[in-house]
């Protein structure tokens, strides 16, 4: 089986004694709570029987052993316990759709969640904070996560598998679709980028100066007041031709102020990185402030050039010349299908056939959108070990290249043709019509995934 073969390639776990956990209190009352408890108990059973948790923990250990720093047995046991908690806490937080802060509070107040996340103890219970919960989701990379999911899918697809499902998951038929999710970022105009950049740099400068690290400059709050004044002037001037000179004049003042603020912020950043030990800041806090300033100092020159080209020069800036971190666009720039809006990230999802609509494969595409035919090939290459026999998709996945590619690999092509006459002819086939009717449910399932599990928006770079 796939799980046993994968475990042979991973480092073994050190034996440890399970800590004593108090029993979860029996709560009589709302049926919703009983349903929630049964759901967590079933997930706990799946994690243990399918050995998914063991695979995840071993992957975390393997990733830590790849570092040059040695790992003693005590730290390794601590890492094993932390990895198991990380997997379970991430699952529970996804099910509750809570933020890190909200879930940390709920976890501290719920004996049921503490039992599920393996945190309940006799006596003092230590609950991870919001920062630890966020780091939990970064313990393995995407390739490792795919191996974990592959272990679970292999167990679910086995007729005599350890999960004892009423019917095994069918993964031989794949229903493909793609969508576009809005990024959780700001979509400002060019001059607003300058205002936001100066605000970020000056607030970080104020924080550095509060800890006794100062260089010669005006009071940072004076830069904030002046930038707010210029922003109100820029917003007052409409884009009519009569106000064009006023907009150019105001933008030139904003550019001068931005460059001065960047120079002061750069000097304060260097001072912080060299002398943080003499302050009350920890090394991680100092590095985080420095990273935040470095990102803005790197991106603001692009924003200055874009603003100058558009407002002062009156010239268009090509998409490939724009800085990818500063993308202009309308608020809520989300589109489905081809995903041509640069205001979102593409998500390609392959769902297995069956009543559950199990997600068998996924791909997150950042940057410029790609055609669905490219996503089709990569998805089938990733799922080649599962012996996919039928592929179903909408017209965006159809092309001459994809048809030939599927024919060479002897995979049944149930993708809706782009040609209307050919589509009408194929719909006369009862099997093709049934598969296309089932495919129509995939978009609804993806909508559920976006609204219920992806927190409606995605962080860039996530």
List C-alpha distances in Å: 52 to 45, 94, 221, 298, 361.
11, 17, 53, 41, 17
Decide: helix, strand or coil at residue 143: helix
pLDDT, residue 312, reads 85
pLDDT, residue 161, reads 74
pLDDT band at 441 (very low <50, low <70, confident <90, very high): confident
Torsion sign, CA atoms 423, 425, 426, 428: positive
Check residues 189 and 328 and name the one with the higher pLDDT. Answer: 189
Ordered by start, the domain boundaries in the chain are: 2-157, 170-183+331-453, 190-321
The rounded distance, in Å, linking the Cα atoms of 177 and 181 is: 13
Query: Of the given ranges (129-143, 379-393, 420-434), which has the lowest mean pLDDT?
Result: 379-393
pLDDT, residue 101, reads 92
CA 123 to chain centre: 36
- Among the CATH numbers 2.60.40, 3.30.530, 1.25.40, 3.30.420, which is that of 170-183+331-453? 3.30.420
The rounded distance, in Å, linking the Cα atoms of 301 and 41 is: 53
CA 451 to chain centre: 14
pLDDT single digits (tens) 76-91 = 999 999 999 999 999 9
The rounded distance, in Å, linking the Cα atoms of 374 and 186 is: 29
The rounded distance, in Å, linking the Cα atoms of 83 and 88 is: 9
Cβ-Cβ contacts under 8 Å for 352 (sequence gap 6 or more) = 153, 169, 170, 171, 173, 174, 175, 358, 359, 360
Sheet strands (E) in 18-169 = none
Evaluate if residue 461 carries a pLDDT over 50: no
pLDDT single digits (tens) 335-346 = 333 333 334 455
State the chain's mean pLDDT as an integer: 82
Output the CA torsion 279→281→287→291 (10° steps): -90
Evaluate if residue 233 carries a pLDDT over 50: yes
pLDDT, residue 323, reads 55
pLDDT, residue 377, reads 86
pLDDT, residue 297, reads 93
pLDDT, average across residues 321-333: 45
Strand ordering across the sheet containing 359-365: 359-365, 344-353, 170-182, 390-393, 412-415
Segment of 218-227, 239-248, 345-354, 386-395 carrying the highest mean pLDDT: 218-227
């Amino acid at each position: 089986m796939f799980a046993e073969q994968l475990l042979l390639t991973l480092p073994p776990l050190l034996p440890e004694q399970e800590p004593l956990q108090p029993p979860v209190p029996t709560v009589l009352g709302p049926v919703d709570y009983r349903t929630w408890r049964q759901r967590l108990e079933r997930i706990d059973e799946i994690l243990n029987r399918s050995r998914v948790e063991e695979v995840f923990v071993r992957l975390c250990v393997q990733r830590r052993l790849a570092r040059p720093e040695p790992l003693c047995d005590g730290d390794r046991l601590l890492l094993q316990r932390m990895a198991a908690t990380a997997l379970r806490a991430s699952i529970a937080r996804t099910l509750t759709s809570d933020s890190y802060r909200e879930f940390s509070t709920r976890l501290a107040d719920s004996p049921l969640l503490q039992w599920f996340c393996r945190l309940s103890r006799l006596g003092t219970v230590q609950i991870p904070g919001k920062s630890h919960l966020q780091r939990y989701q970064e313990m393995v990379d995407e390739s490792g996560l795919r191996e974990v999911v592959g272990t679970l899918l292999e167990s679910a697809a086995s007729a005599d598998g350890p999960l004892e499902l009423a019917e095994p998951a069918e993964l031989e038929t794949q229903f493909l679709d793609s969508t576009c999710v809005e990024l959780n970022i700001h979509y400002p105009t060019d001059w607003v980028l300058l205002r936001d950049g100066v605000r970020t740099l000056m607030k970080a400068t104020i924080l550095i100066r509060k800890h006794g690290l100062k260089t010669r400059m005006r009071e940072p709050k004076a830069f904030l007041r002046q930038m707010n004044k210029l922003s109100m002037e820029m917003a007052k001037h409409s884009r009519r031709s009569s106000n064009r000179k006023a907009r150019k004049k105001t933008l030139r003042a904003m550019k001068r102020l931005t460059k001065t603020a960047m120079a002061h912020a750069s000097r304060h950043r260097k001072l912080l990185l060299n002398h943080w030990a003499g302050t009350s800041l920890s090394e991680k806090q100092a590095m985080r402030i420095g990273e935040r300033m470095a990102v803005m100092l790197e991106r603001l020159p692009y924003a200055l050039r874009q603003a100058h080209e558009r407002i002062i020069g009156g010239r268009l800036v090509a998409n490939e010349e724009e800085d990818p971190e500063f993308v202009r666009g309308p608020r809520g720039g989300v589109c489905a299908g081809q995903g041509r809006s640069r205001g979102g990230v593409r998500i390609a999802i392959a769902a297995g056939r069956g009543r559950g609509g199990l997600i068998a494969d996924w791909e997150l595409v950042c940057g410029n959108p790609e055609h669905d035919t490219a996503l089709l090939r990569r998805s089938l290459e990733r799922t080649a070990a599962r012996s996919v026999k039928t592929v179903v998709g909408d017209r965006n996945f159809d092309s001459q290249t994809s048809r030939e590619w599927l024919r060479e690999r002897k995979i049944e092509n149930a993708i809706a043709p782009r040609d209307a006459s050919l589509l009408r002819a194929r719909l006369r086939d009862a099997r093709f019509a049934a598969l296309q009717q089932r495919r129509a449910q995939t978009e609804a399932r993806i909508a559920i995934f976006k609204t219920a599990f992806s927190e409606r928006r995605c962080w860039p770079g996530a």
